[in-house]
């Protein structure tokens, strides 16, 4: 059989690919009966149908449940549409989306204008010119926080190549040019940064939800710019809660959200939303077997919005994060492990080594260990719990205190003299580091 080669136009969105192909057998057949030509008159139904586009004709056929897969030309679609009105059709499948799809589309259309494409630049010398050239240094995602032009993103997005750059470009959907953003402040320990752009007309900020009531299994959405593909939407579920993720500073970000919504390089700093489009987290990291440049394997992490709200509001108000403190210094974990070996008994907790005079800790009666000149140590208070949560290392204590606000009161369980037989519960009020009297020693560990 002779095969007739043709050129088949494959349309995908707005991009056309011209590919060699083979006309389908049905298109080559000369035996298939064709309806008699229909002469259109100004008052005939065909004249009205001819004014419709091909897509509109296909939509009408789809709504009527009419099969049009073998229609090759527009006239075939019109012919099929006319004949469908006089024959019994199968049950029509409506072209409208399902309710869940409609909500998803509506959420994306409402929220995506507030998602930003973040790009940093660096100045690089040029070999044959005295004038240095500005080149892209990093990219990621962000989102509008309020109507004042504050934009939230990850710290590692703007500081991926070392120091924070002077210039950060922020581009919003539907805007042809990028804004020059000012860096308001950052918190490396939480991998968050706040930028500010100046514009007279900004889209509405994303609605802020809560993360303390998230449940494993509920639907979440991620919007961002993976691999530079702007305004990409992915969907998944909350896979787990309470994960620890190491920030750029080396500190652990507590209570992160794990999700299987596809998060890839470039999604960092973008919003994680619940099914109603409310912010529940900031996408920050993935686990990828391919390393730094690897793609998503279904394990991504987001900073919980309860943490984001606290950090961002402090950065906007003070230009930095105001960390609460009780006014103590504690021994490094390695020192405590060494003391355990010397004493040959467990010291499960954090050892107080300095109490700042005039601090809340001093007012509450906390006692500090003292190191003697002969290398020995006089043991004092060992902190084992904060508000009932076990404290086994310094990081546990820092996280428990820093998750609270200045002015809050915490209950600290200590072992007097590191003696398990002498536990005591002590209430201590948190203050900002600026409120502490000047210490003769190093700055208190809480609030550094």
What is the set of active-site residues?
156, 191, 268
Q: Tokens for 281?
A: 């987290």
> Angle at CA 41, nearest 5°, toward 35 and 46?
50
Question: What is the Cα 206 distance to its own chain's centre?
Answer: 13
Question: What is the Cα 225 distance to its own chain's centre?
Answer: 11
Backbone angles phi, psi at 325, to 5 degrees: -150, 160
Q: Give which of 133, 117, 114, 137 is closest to 125, Cα–Cα.
A: 133
Q: Give which of 440, 448, 447 is closest to 355, Cα–Cα.
A: 440
Q: Give which of 134, 168, 173 is closest to 153, Cα–Cα.
A: 168
Strand-strand pairing, 350-355 and 300-304? unpaired
Q: Report the distance separating Cα 424 and Cα 421, nearest Å.
A: 10
What is the C-alpha end-to-end distance of the chain, expressed in Å? 82
Q: Give which of 325, 321, 300 is closest to 190, Cα–Cα.
A: 321
Give the start-end residues of each E strand in 188-270: 192-196, 219-224, 232-246, 252-259
Provide the 3-class DSSP secondary structure of residue 55.
helix
CB 365 within 8 Å of CB 426: yes
Provide the 3-class DSSP secondary structure of residue 442.
coil
Element (H, E) at 15: strand 15-22
Q: Tokens for 304?
A: 């919980």
CB 369 within 8 Å of CB 353: yes
> Angle at CA 311, nearest 5°, toward 324 and 177?
155
Q: Tokens for 317?
A: 């108000």
CB 328 within 8 Å of CB 380: no
Question: What is the Cα 22 distance to its own chain's centre?
Answer: 46
């Amino acid at each position: 059989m002779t095969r007739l080669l043709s050129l088949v136009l494959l349309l995908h969105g707005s991009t056309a690919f011209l590919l060699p192909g083979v006309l389908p057998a049905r298109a080559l057949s000369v035996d298939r009966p064709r309806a008699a030509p229909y002469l259109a008159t100004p008052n005939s139904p065909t004249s009205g149908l001819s004014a419709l586009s091909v897509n509109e004709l296909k939509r009408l056929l789809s709504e009527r449940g009419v099969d049009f897969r073998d229609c090759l030309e527009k006239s075939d679609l019109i012919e099929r549409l006319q004949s469908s009105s006089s024959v019994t059709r199968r049950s029509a499948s409506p072209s409208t989306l399902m309710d869940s799809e409609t909500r998803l589309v509506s959420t994306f259309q409402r929220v995506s204008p507030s998602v930003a494409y973040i790009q940093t630049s660096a100045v690089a010398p040029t070999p044959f010119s005295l004038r240095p050239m500005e080149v892209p240094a990093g990219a990621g995602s962000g989102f509008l926080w309020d109507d004042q032009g504050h934009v939230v993103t990850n710290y590692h997005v703007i500081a991926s190549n070392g120091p924070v750059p002077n210039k950060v470009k922020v581009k919003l959907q539907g805007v042809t040019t990028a804004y020059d953003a000012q860096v308001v402040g950052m918190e490396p320990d939480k991998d968050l940064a706040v930028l500010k752009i100046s514009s007279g007309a900004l889209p509405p900020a994303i609605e802020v939800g809560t993360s303390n009531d998230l449940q494993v299994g509920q639907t979440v959405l991620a919007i961002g710019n993976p691999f530079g593909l702007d305004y990409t939407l992915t969907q998944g579920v909350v896979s787990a809660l309470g994960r620890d993720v190491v920030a750029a500073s080396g500190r652990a970000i507590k209570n992160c959200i794990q999700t299987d919504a596809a998060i890839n390089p470039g999604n960092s700093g973008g919003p994680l939303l619940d099914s109603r489009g409310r912010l529940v987290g900031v996408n920050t990291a993935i686990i990828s077997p391919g390393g730094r440049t690897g793609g998503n394997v279904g394990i991504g992490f987001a900073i919980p919005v309860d943490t984001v709200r606290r950090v961002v509001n402090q950065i906007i108000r003070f230009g930095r994060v105001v960390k609460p403190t009780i006014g103590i210094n504690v021994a490094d974990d390695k020192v405590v492990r060494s003391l355990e070996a010397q004493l040959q008994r467990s010291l499960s907790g954090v050892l107080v080594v300095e109490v700042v005079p005039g601090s809340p800790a001093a007012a509450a009666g906390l006692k500090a260990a003292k190191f003697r000149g002969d290398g020995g140590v006089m043991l004092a208070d060992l902190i084992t719990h904060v508000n009932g949560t076990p404290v086994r290392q310094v990081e546990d204590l820092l996280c428990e205190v820093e998750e609270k606000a200045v002015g809050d009161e915490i209950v600290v369980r200590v072992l007097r003299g590191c003696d398990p037989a002498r536990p005591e519960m002590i209430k201590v009020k948190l203050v900002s580091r600026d409120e502490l009297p000047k210490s003769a020693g190093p700055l208190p560990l809480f609030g550094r």
